Amino acid sequence: MRDAAHHRVLVCEDDPAMVRIFQFLLRQQGIRDVMTTANGEEVAPLARQHQPSLILLDLMLPGKDGVGVLNELKTNDETRQIPVIIVSGKESQEQVKQAMMAGAIDYVIKPFEPMELGIRIQTFLDNLNPQSMPDAGGFH
Amino acid sequence: MASTFSPFPSGSSGQKRSNLGEVLVEVGVISPEQFHKALTSASGTENDIAKWLIDLGFTTEEKIMKGIGIKAKVPYFTSLEGLFTAESSNLISEELSRRLQVVPLFKIDNVVTVAMVNPLDVYTIDALSKTTGYRIDPVVCMRSTIFETINKLYGGWEGSQIPSEAPIQLPMERTIEISTANDSSRKIVVSNGTETYYIDPADEADAIKDGFRRVK
């Protein structure tokens, strides 16, 4: 188990207010290394370069839709191991199924319970296999 | 519709105003027919439209708040648990928090995130910004949640019960106290005896049609 302070989380969300909410929730879990992007096109390159422990992904991003981003992440050897939690207002069964089939580990529907999301994030990070976690300098 | 005036803040001068009923129709919370039925029940004014929409069984308070959040493009929460700490109470005084019916949540960089019922209430947001010295990011939640959280945050006090007169207090029911509102130099003040608002001078005629009169 790795100390929360050593985790890096990539937040992919185009609403600045929601980004700050994620930042606060992550800080409450002791995670201060938070990267953000508002553009779907940037997610996979950022994930490859910075190897976050976890990605929070909105499905409705400009540039590339969330399922497309997930497919890109999960078909690349450098990023397929990074867990992705979908946090989105989309909530049809088909959309949830699509996201989970594409490799998301969880799907949180907005409006979510902030405390519950914080606990879920912490649980996922606590349960990460230490050998699969990247170092700050990059995963090899 | 009897008239077009609503104290629902318009944002900037010249921008189209947002009447709550029209907003709820626009975002799909109610149908145009339900809006008109509720408006008829409310004797043609939008002042009690939310209460009537709920009483007639057309929607719920939660759906109305969610609709406001969608329209205002701000996050909506059913619970604020996890979004505040004991330090949050240092951001805004208890007195101001109760008076403006807002909950200070957290500050990141130069932005304070605040929970409130009406994120389109530019006067409250302006007052908070001037008071705190920070930019204000609103999130929406139900009024009952606002009061519950204020009580948790500040420890509660005897007079802190949620007023029982209405299940929801929407923008048109809000009284903006003149002493707390800023930017008064560019506004006029209208009142109907119980509600007082700063409005653009161009809106005065509509306000008068709805029973308001200019007081300043």
Neighbours of B115 (CB within 10 A): 24
pLDDT of residue B13: 34
Question: Crossing angle for the helix pair A40-50 and A66-74, nearest 10 degrees?
Answer: 30
| Lookup: tokens for A51 | 């190897």
Angle at B8 between CA B98 and CA B153, to 5 degrees: 20
Task: Please check whether residue B34 is in contact with residue B57, taking contact to mean a CB–CB distance below 8 angstroms.
Answer: no
pLDDT in tens, A96-127: 888 899 999 999 988 899 999 999 998 888 88
Residues of chain B with a CB closer than 8 angstroms to some CB in chain A: 66, 69, 73-83, 85, 105-106, 108, 111, 113, 137-139
Q: Is residue A94 part of a domain?
A: yes
Provide mean pLDDT across the span B23-43. 89
Lowest pLDDT segment from A32-41, B128-137, B155-164, B187-196: B155-164
Q: Is residue A136 part of a domain?
A: no
Task: Provide the number of structural domains found in chain A.
Answer: 1
Residue B171 binned pLDDT confidence (cut-offs 50, 70, 90): very low
pLDDT of residue A105: 92
Q: Is residue A135 part of a domain?
A: no
Q: Is residue A24 part of a domain?
A: yes
Neighbours of B177 (CB within 10 A): 12
Which CATH number does the domain B86-154 belong to among 3.30.56.10, 3.40.50.720, 3.50.50.60, 3.30.300.160?
3.30.300.160
pLDDT in tens, B40-73: 888 777 667 888 899 999 999 888 888 888 888 8
CA gap A125, B215 in Å, rounded: 59
Task: Please check whether residue B7 is in contact with residue B121, taking contact to mean a CB–CB distance below 8 angstroms.
Answer: no
CATH number at residue A117: 3.40.50.2300
Q: Closest partner residue to A18 among B75, B85, B111, by Cβ?
A: B75
Q: Is residue A64 part of a domain?
A: yes
pLDDT of residue A91: 65
Provide mean pLDDT across the span B109-135. 92
A117 to chain B: which residues are within 8 Å by CB? 82
pLDDT of residue B191: 65
Q: Closest partner residue to B106 among A18, A24, A117, by Cβ?
A: A24
Lowest pLDDT segment from A6-15, A32-41, B43-52, B129-138: B43-52
Phi–psi pair at A34, nearest 5 degrees:
-120, 120
In terms of DSSP bridges, do strands B102-108 and A106-109 run parallel, antiparallel, or are they unpaired?
Answer: unpaired
Q: Closest partner residue to A17 among B66, B74, B82, by Cβ?
A: B74
Please give the model's pTM, rounded to 2 decimal places: 0.72
Domain encompassing residue A101: 4-128
The number of angstroms, rounded, from the C-alpha of A78 to the middle of its chain's C-alpha atoms is 15
Q: Is residue A68 part of a domain?
A: yes
Q: Is residue A139 part of a domain?
A: no
